[in-house]
Amino acid sequence: MPELPEVETVMRGMQIALQGRTIVRTIIRRHDLRWRIPADFSQTVTGSTLLNFQRRGKYILIRLSCGQSIVLHLGMSGRVLLDSPETPQPHEHVVFETDDGKRCAYIDPRRFGMMDLVPTPDEHSYRAFVKMGPEPLGNSFSPQTLLEACKGRRTAIKPFLLDQHVVAGLGNIYVCEALYRASIAPTMPACDLKARAAGTLVRAIRTVLQDAIAAGGSSLKDYVRPEGGLGYFQHAWQVYGKHNQPCPKCPGTPTCAGVQHMTQAGRTTFFCPQHQKNG
DNA sequence: ATTGTCCCCTGCCCGC
DNA sequence: TGCGGGCAGGGGACAA
């Protein structure tokens, strides 16, 4: 579920419902997520007020009045459910009960997600953030910085963009969509990116992410937004999951065989070979 | 240093 | 209808 737009949607939902609230009780049903939740997690956060929320890449940071920040990553299947019912949901590993009598649940069938603590002043030195690339919607991500990152990198541009050290928050869906929109072949070596194409690519990444955020993210399978509604950006996908369907940019082009797929670095890439070219 | 492979875990969908 | 295989939004640990 969670690439940047989904994480942003989850963060905003939590912010609206939880900012200023105090945690009165914390239930941890399983500590063994991607990494173990710290043993003192419950004791540390209970009694704290949730001061503010921020997203960094695919992580959510929750600043607490006790001086610690919760670091939350949704992995592949993590969900946050606000107004969670009394009856435990399947795979509901953590529940925060707040002073307004509501319950906020973390649900994660595959347990690839994580929940950790870091002292708020030390957030910037948290392992995951130290070498993380720029925010794609921020000023520090530009054609120039992207070209700089591409220098000497022979790996294909698609797996390259999945590397969180290059740019933060992109995942398999939005990389496929951005490369398609920019008409760049996923197999093109990163170091072959030209200035003009870098500009197009940066614009494509920004617009696809912004459009997805505006749509509340993409809903796959049982993913719902924290407040229970569905994101609907999956209806705007042009290539992801569209194997053998017509390429929207090549209507009636006889040479266009439609959307193809292949595997790169163990992940499926969807693309239109007719439309997406090197350089 | 860069790059590719494997693995963590559960659920779902497909083909037989 | 039932079962096994493959695949899924991520990313870290290794090996080459």
pLDDT 10s digits, A128-161? 999 999 999 999 999 999 999 999 999 999 999 9
Evaluate if pTM is beyond 0.85: yes
Cβ–Cβ contacts within 10 Å for residue A127, how many? Answer: 10
> A2: which nucleotide lies closest, measuring CA to C1'?
C9
Q: What's A230's DSSP letter?
A: P
For residue A152, with 0-12 CB atoms within 10 Å meaning exposed, 13-18 middle and 19 or more buried, which class applies? exposed
- Residue A95 · residue A103 · CB < 8 Å: yes
Asked whether residue A221's C-beta has any atom of DNA/RNA strand C within 7 A, the reply is yes
Question: What per-residue confidence (pLDDT) applies to A1?
Answer: 62
Question: What per-residue confidence (pLDDT) applies to A225?
Answer: 78
Asked whether residue A153's C-beta has any atom of DNA/RNA strand B within 7 A, the reply is yes
Mean pLDDT value across chain A = 94
Contacts with A81 (C-beta within 8 Å, 6 or more apart), sequence order: A89, A92, A104, A105, A107, A224, A226, A228
CA A260/CA A264 separation, integer angstroms? 13
CA A36/CA A39 separation, integer angstroms? 8
Asked whether residue A251's C-beta has any atom of DNA/RNA strand C within 7 A, the reply is no
pLDDT tens figures, A204-255:
999 999 999 999 998 875 555 777 778 899 999 999 999 989 998 887 777 7
Asked whether residue A2's C-beta has any atom of DNA/RNA strand C within 7 A, the reply is yes
Question: What per-residue confidence (pLDDT) applies to A229?
Answer: 79
Place of tokens 């992995």: A75
Cβ–Cβ contacts within 10 Å for residue A31, how many? Answer: 15
Q: Which helix (H) or strand (E) holds A43?
A: helix A41-45
CA A71/CA A118 separation, integer angstroms? 7
Scan residues 134-193 of chain A and list those with Cβ within 7 Å of strand C.
Answer: 162, 164, 170-173
CA A30/CA A246 separation, integer angstroms? 45
**Rounded average pLDDT over A197-208:** 98
Is A249 among the catalytic positions?
no
**Strand B: which bases are under 7 Å from protein Cβ?**
2-12
Place of tokens 């439309």: A275
Is A267 among the catalytic positions?
yes
